[in-house]
Structures are given as structure tokens and as C-alpha cells.
A = this chain, B = another copy of it.
Amino acid sequence: MTRFMDVHHDMKGITAEQLREAHQADLAIEKDEGVHFEKAWADPESGTVYCLSEAPSAEAVLRIHERTGNKADEIHPVPLTV
């Protein structure tokens, strides 16, 4: 399992409720791909959302986000943490 940070750039105006719903939708199906979404941070003004996950691959993360309608624009493995 690797930790990943993915980034969405087109979520302008996202509300706390919408962020919570999107996260819940991901959590509901994440097991299909062996992914776990740990946390997400959003900037409604610029429309940027960062999602932290643990997963077997970047593709697994991207597939879950696509199925819930929240396609990520970027993803990076982040093996180092402090």
C-alpha cells in the first residue's frame, strides 16, 4: 500500500456539505479497489481539493474518484511524511 495525494482543480464554490458528501461517496465504494480515503481539504475560492489516501496504485484511487463523479486532475504517491 502506498499513500497518495490527489488534487482536484475545478471545485469552485464547494461547500462543507458537498465535500462531506463526496467523501462519503468515495468511502462507500473504496473497498472495491482496496483504497482508503483518509482526509480531504478544500479551498472553495480557487476550487482546489486535496485528498489523501492509501491505495495499491494511483489508478485504483482514480477509478474510485471517477465512479463517484469526482475525477482528480493530478495524483502523486507521497511515500515520505513528516
Sample of 13 further A-B pairs with CB below 8 A, known A5-B41, A42-B79, A46-B76 = A3-B41, A5-B48, A15-B80, A19-B80, A20-B82, A39-B81, A40-B82, A41-B52, A41-B80, A42-B82, A45-B77, A48-B76, A50-B78
A82-B23 CB under 8 A given contacts A46-B76, A76-B46, A76-B48: yes
A43 within 8 A of B: yes
A14 within 8 A of B: yes
Q: Which of A25-82 contact B (CB under 8 A)?
A: 39-46, 48, 50, 52, 76-82
Number of chain copies forming the complex? 2
Count of residues in A whose CB is under 8 Å from the partner chain: 26
Residues of B within 8 A of A41 (CB): 3, 5, 52, 78, 80-81
Residues of B within 8 A of A77 (CB): 43, 45
